[in-house]
Copies of this chain bind each other. A is one copy, B any other.
Amino acid sequence: MSKTAITPTRAENFSEWYQNLVAAADLAENSPVRGCMTIKPYGWAIWELMRDEMDKRIKAAGVQNVQFPLLIPVEYFNREAEHVEGFAKECAVVTHYRLKAIDGTLQPDPDAKLAEPYIIRPTSETIIGEAMSRWVQSYRDLPMKLNQWVNVMRWEMRPRLFLRTSEFYWQEGHDVFADHAGAAADARKMHKVYGDYAREVLAIPSVMGEKTAEERFAGADHTYTMEHIMQDGKALQAGTSHDLGQHFSKSFDIKYLGDDGQLHHAWTTSWGVSTRMMGGVIMTHGDDDGLILPPAIAPYQIVIIPIVRDENAKKLNKYAEKIGKKLRAKGLRVLVDTSDMRSADKIWKWIKRGAPLRIEVGDREMESEVATVTRRDRGKSSQKTIALADLYKNASDMLKQIQSDMLSAVETRNKAMITDIADLAELSKHLSAGKIGFFRLKYEETKSPEFDGLMEEYKISRRCLDDADPSFVFVAKSY
């Protein structure tokens, strides 16, 4: 068996493989602040590309960005009982506004205790609701579509980098409409924006559908979710969109003067995706040698590695830089790695970091004006030597091909990961046999104490109804 860059392998221990990949690809690390992560330069560069592309699509949907405060008065959470029940309790609470040196060490100053504590936002529905009650006056102000890219915090006892951290980064969209039809269509529309984005940018085909009543967001009438199927068969909830009905407009008094001259409560939605998607990319595309990035979100779509010996280093680095310059002129993101690492180490570095296309050039390549090209997603078997002229002409298409092949590969795998079953007996049989993946069955079947038992025993849950036929539900383990 050949050695892999990441140990253990996925087959040996998926969860440790994940953790070690995050370290090997230099994406992020646990911080000294319990449950919070530090996102390192390479990880953050990927996230910036993911974020900027999502931001473009959100703006194209007619949404405006905005920025609300980090802190939320506790009082606001008292207004929306269901919301609080949902998830607002595990919060970071700010109780003081000053430190004081007491006995030589800094401590919260007893004289600077807040009359009412603040919470670090776990989400901003409430504070945005308060603002909207003032910003929305007439039907002419509607629809109002706002979004913000912010850090949020929910205290986590069992954190995992990107997947579940106390602080994470996300966008939260909050829209207001004059009628239910507007809000209902919007929740669906943003759900589709997410699904299209995952497919076109992350090369991840999603299981798309509505959450069942049991699983929907606290305070929502409808929650639509994008579920990604990881390589270990577990679901990753990667983005949700909520039709909030009039829950928040009534709690926060968001009213508008209609063209009928009457005051009406508005209808709202909210929708969000987060750095969690980074975990989805890793567990969807990664292999036992590390990360594999779709070209659309790769900080370096092409990495050029000059295979130098002492005597040719200068000339060869120059040759590599020349190729890099030509490729950059095509609008591609290219790194020429002329650092003073050993060539073999450089190659492994960029394999682990998942650069989509690797170009090696040595003496032989330089003499014949060619380059040796390897696709990260296909590995050694894809290696070929091509003329520079062809490289310049085709590099952009090669990257497009990688992007589309990566999507196809996951589509094929996902099909094998979804099992249609008739009833709970069949579900139980599969689960006890250790079968992984999603199970699709009649939603009605899951409304029974027997299903509750299976949920408990196998840690499965209803992921969502099937958009194609909402009388069916997908069931799986999840992150």
Judged by a CB distance under 8 angstroms, whether A91 is at the interface is yes
Stretch from A63-71, A175-183, A236-244, A465-473 at the B interface = A63-71
* A33 pairs with B153, CB closer than 8 A: no
* A31 pairs with B106, CB closer than 8 A: no
Counting chain B CB atoms within 10 Å of each CB, the highest count among A31, A84, A99, A100 belongs to: A99
Judged by a CB distance under 8 angstroms, whether A464 is at the interface is no
Judged by a CB distance under 8 angstroms, whether A163 is at the interface is no
Judged by a CB distance under 8 angstroms, whether A398 is at the interface is no
* A106 pairs with B90, CB closer than 8 A: no
* B70 pairs with A167, CB closer than 8 A: yes
Q: In the complex, what distance in Å separates the CA atom of A105 from the CA atom of B47?
A: 38
- 23 CB contacts below 8 A, A to B, read A31-B68, A31-B69, A32-B73, A33-B69, A33-B127, A36-B69, A37-B69, A38-B66, A38-B69, A41-B146, A44-B66, A67-B169, A74-B99, A74-B105, A78-B105, A84-B106, A89-B106, A92-B94, A92-B96, A92-B97, A93-B108, A97-B155, A140-B340
| A146–chain B nearest beta-carbon distance, Å | 7
Judged by a CB distance under 8 angstroms, whether A117 is at the interface is yes
Q: In the complex, what distance in Å separates the CA atom of A86 from the CA atom of B265?
A: 49
Interface residues of chain A, those whose CB is within 8 Å of chain B, are 31-33, 36-41, 44-45, 47-48, 64-74, 77-78, 84, 88-100, 105-109, 117-120, 127, 130-131, 140, 146, 150-151, 153, 155, 167, 169, 340
4 shortest A-B CB distances, which residue pairs? A41-B64, A36-B69, A93-B96, A39-B67
Q: In the complex, what distance in Å separates the CA atom of A91 from the CA atom of B99?
A: 7
| A94–chain B nearest beta-carbon distance, Å | 5
Counting chain B CB atoms within 10 Å of each CB, the highest count among A65, A68, A92 belongs to: A92
Residues of B within 8 A of A94 (CB): 92-95, 120
Beyond A36-B70, A45-B65, A74-B106, 4 additional pairs, beta carbon < 8 A: A31-B68, A33-B127, A78-B106, A97-B155
Given A41-B65, A45-B64, answer yes or no on A99-B119 (Cβ-Cβ < 8 Å).
yes
Given A33-B73, A94-B92, answer yes or no on A66-B78 (Cβ-Cβ < 8 Å).
no
Residue of B nearest to A90 (CB): B98
Q: In the complex, what distance in Å separates the CA atom of A66 from the CA atom of B28?
A: 10
Q: In the complex, what distance in Å separates the CA atom of A167 from the CA atom of B68?
A: 10
Residues of B within 8 A of A77 (CB): 99, 106
* A97 pairs with B107, CB closer than 8 A: no
Residues of B within 8 A of A39 (CB): 66-67
Q: In the complex, what distance in Å separates the CA atom of A32 from the CA atom of B169?
A: 23
Residues of B within 8 A of A31 (CB): 68-69, 127, 131
Counting chain B CB atoms within 10 Å of each CB, the highest count among A70, A73, A117, A340 belongs to: A70
Residue of B65, B130, B131, B153 near A44 (CB, 8 A) is B65
